[in-house]
Structure 1
C-alpha cells in the first residue's frame, strides 16, 4: 500500500477515533509527509512499511541542518511517532521504527526564529525618510524573502536580478550558482532602491555592479548588515539576539512549517546533500516559485 493510502487512513483514524481538531490533524499529516518527501529523495519506491529507525534519524539530521527550532523538531517527531503507532495498532507493522527515536530537548539552544509579526515590526521600524532607509528595507525583505546568506546578499549584482521571472541568480558556497525565487514585496523595494536612491550615489570604481552600496558608493560589508539589524532590534525593544542568519533561519522554518516541499527549501537555501546516498535533484523554477507563493508568509 502506498504512502497516500496509509496517510489517508491515518487521517480518518485521527478524525474518527482520536477526534482531533482539523488543525491538529493537518499538523500530523504534514509531519508524516515530510518523512515521505525526504525518503523519496533517496528511494522513490520506499513505502511506509519498510521505514527504519535510521531513515527517521536521517530526516531529523536533515531538519536539524535547516536549524528548525527544537519545538518544531519535537512536534515533527510526535507526528511521525503517532503515524507508526497507528500502523502498529492496525497490524500493518510488527514493530515501530520510531519507538527509540527521541525528540530534541526543548531547552537546547538553537538560533532564534522571528515570527511574522516580529518580521513586520522590524520592517516597519526602518526610517524610509532617510536615504539609506529604502536600501535597508530592500535588504531585509530580500533576506526574509529568499533566505540568502549574508555573504550572498552583499555580493548580489545588478545582473543577478532576473526581474522578468522574479528570481535571483545567486553564487553561493563553493562558487556554485543557483536560482532563488524573490517575493513580490522584496522585488518592489529593490526596484525602488535602485531607481530612486542608488542612481544618485557617486559609485566608487570597481563597485558599479553591486546592488547594495553604502553612502560612499562602495559595496556593503557583512559587519554593516549585522549592525543595521542589531540597531533595528534595539529600536523596537526586541530582546532576541538576531543577525542576518536569523532571517535565513526564519525563511526556512516558516516554509517548512507551512508545508513546503523539503527538496524545494533545500534547493533555495543552496544546501549540499547531507546524506551520501541522496540523489540531489534540481527542481523546475516554476515549481520553486509556486512553493514560495503557496507557503511563504509574505507571498
Structure 2
C-alpha cells in the first residue's frame, strides 16, 4: 500500500486576516501527518483553488504552486523502497538545501534543469528573460526575491517598452520570472505574504489577440497556387498546407513525425510542447485525408520504415540544441516562401506557420464544429472542462470535420 498525498485547509486556527494555513497531508495505513506549505487562504479562496479552471491570476498561481508541493511529495514517495514517515520527512524536509534568495541563481538552476530534460527551446526563452532582467537591474548588488515588488515590476515593464519591446515580450519575460519566484516560495526562499503577482499588486500584461486566421477563400488560393515542381517554394507551400490540414501541427511536430505515427485513417502524435510538462498527455488524433496522403507521398522519405522521420528534417541522435537549431531553420524557410506566396496572391496578411494553426481552428469553428472538438484537435489539455467530451468523437465524425478544411474543392 502506497502513501497518499493531498492538500488540506487547516481551519482550526484562523489568522488575523481571516485566512487559514494550507498543509500537505500524507496518509499511510490510516495514519496522517501534516506538513506546512507556507500558503494561507480564506475558505472562499480555497474553494476557488479546488475548481478545475480558476479565472483569477492569484488563484491560478496558488493552484500551480500547491501542485508543486504535492508533486514533489509524490516523487519522494515513489523513490522510497518502503514508506515510513521518518524517512519521508528526511527526504522531503531534512535533506533540503538552504534556499537561495538570488533571482539569478534561481534562473540558472531552472535553465540547467530544462537543458537536462532536452527542452532547449524553453531554456532559450528563460535565458532571454534573465538577460533582459540583468540588463535592467544593471547593479553590482545581487537581485533578491524581496527586490521583486510591484514597483520593480512596473519599472521593468516601462523600461522594456521604452527599449522598443512589445507588450507580448514583456508578458513572456515576466511569466518566466513568476515561475522562478513560485519555485522560490516553494523552497522557502521568500514568504508567500509578499507575493507581488496578484490582481491588486501587479498583473502581468497580455498582448492584444490580433486575428491571424485566413479566410477559406485565402486558403483556396494557396491550395491552388502553382509553384515550380520540386522547388523549395512548392515544398514550403505543401508543408504549410500539411500543418493546416493536420490540426495546425507546428513545425517541430512535423519535423519529429515518424511513419510509425501515420496510419491509414489517423495520425496520432503528442505535441513536443506538452509531452514533458503534463502528467497525462492525451495524444492528438488527425483524420488522414487524401491531401495529407498526397503531401506525404510527395515529400516523405523513402524507403518507408516505422522509426524513420517522414520529412527528413531531423536525423536520429541529434542533441536538443542541434534539433532546436534545425527546426528554427525549417520554420524560417517555410515562413519565407509562404510569405512570398501570400504576397503574390494578394493576401494582405502576415502568413506564417502560426497562421496555419489559427486558420485550422477558425475554419472549423465557422463550419459549426463544437468547441470541444476543436480543443481536442489542438491538444489544449489544460482545458479540463472539455475532457469529458473528448472520447465521444468517433472516427467518422473526425473525418467529416476534416473534410471541411478543403470544402472549396466541392465546387470543382
Query: TM (normalized to structure 1)?
Result: 0.51
Report what 1:272 is aligned to.
381
TM-fit CA distance, 1:137: 4.2
CA contact (8 A) 1:160 1:169 kept: yes
TM-fit CA distance, 1:223: 1.9
Report what 2:244 is aligned to.
144
Q: Paired residue for 1:110, among 205, 210, 233?
A: 210
Q: Deviations over 1:30-85 (max 9, x none)?
A: xxxxxxxxxxxxxxxxxxxxxxxxxxxx9xxxxxxxxxxxxxxxxxxxxxxxxxxx
TM-fit CA distance, 1:168: 1.2
CA contact (8 A) 1:143 1:247 kept: yes
Say which SS state the counterpart of residue 180 (structure 1) adopts: strand
Question: What is the correspondence of 1:98-137 to structure 2 with a 5 Å cutoff?
Answer: 110-132=210-232, 135-137=235-237
- Closer/same/farther in 2, CA of residues 151 and 138 from structure 1, 3 Å limit: same
TM-fit CA distance, 1:258: 1.0
Distance 2:225 2:274 in 1: 35
CA contact (8 A) 1:125 1:235 kept: no
Q: Paired residue for 1:191, among 297, 304, 327?
A: 297
Residue segments in structure 2 that go unaligned for 5+ positions in a row:
1-54, 56-207, 276-280, 316-325
Larger fraction in strand = 2
Report what 2:286 is aligned to.
180
Say which SS state the counterpart of residue 369 (structure 2) adopts: coil
Question: What is the correspondence of 1:1-80 to structure 2 with a 5 Å cutoff?
Answer: none
- Closer/same/farther in 2, CA of residues 130 and 291 from structure 1, 3 Å limit: closer
Is structure 2 residue 259 aligned with structure 1 residue 158? yes
Say which SS state the counterpart of residue 390 (structure 2) adopts: coil
Query: TM (normalized to structure 2)?
Result: 0.38
Distance 1:117 1:279 in 2: 33
CA RMSD of aligned residues (A): 3.3
Q: How many residues align?
A: 180
Say which SS state the counterpart of residue 169 (structure 1) adopts: strand
Q: Is 288-297 or 150-159 further displaced after alignment?
A: 288-297
TM-fit CA distance, 1:264: 1.2
Report what 1:28 is aligned to.
none
Say which SS state the counterpart of residue 242 (structure 1) adopts: coil
Distance 2:399 2:370 in 1: 11
Distance 2:312 2:403 in 1: 32
TM-fit CA distance, 1:262: 1.6
Say which SS state the counterpart of residue 229 (structure 2) adopts: coil
